[in-house]
Amino acid sequence: MPNRPCLDRCEFGSAFMGPNKPIELYLLSFTFFSFHSPRLSRRCHASAVAAAVAAVAAVAVIASAVAFAVVATASLHFLVRGVEALALEALEALEAFEAKQQGFSSRSRDRLTA
């Protein structure tokens, strides 16, 4: 038997059924051959385990990407709020300075006219 992947072995094992048979017959023959051939069963089991590990790794990568996006969005939100607070504080200080300047100029005008 050539060294081929698990699904190819399924087709190889059920070749006696013909090319136009439904997939259920192929799967049934694959199950029969995998239980009766320990080497085939181990290889297919290893393929299934590798596929499961790859699926778990893909889910972990997607979950970490989503977590990173959530943290980045929250950080950006707090950064924007902090910049907004600093801008408001600077604006209030500028308004207070302008009011103080207006007060000094009106007092100096009053002194000059008095």
66 close to 46: Cβ distance less than 8 angstroms? no
Q: What is the average pLDDT value for the chain, to the nearest integer?
A: 73
Q: How far apart are CA 29 and CA 11, in angstroms?
A: 9
Q: How far apart are CA 56 and CA 41, in angstroms?
A: 22
Segment 4-32, tens digit of pLDDT: 444 444 444 444 445 555 555 555 555 55
Is the whole-model pTM more than 0.85? Answer: no
CB 9 within 8 A of CB 1: yes
Q: Which residues contact 35 (CB under 8 A, 6 or more apart)?
A: 41
pLDDT of 80 above 50: yes
What is the band of 74 on the pLDDT scale with cuts at 50, 70, 90?
very high
- 20 DSSP 8-state letter: T
Can you tell me which residue has the tokens 């051939």?
Answer: 37
Is residue 41 within 8 A of residue 47, CB to CB? The reply is no
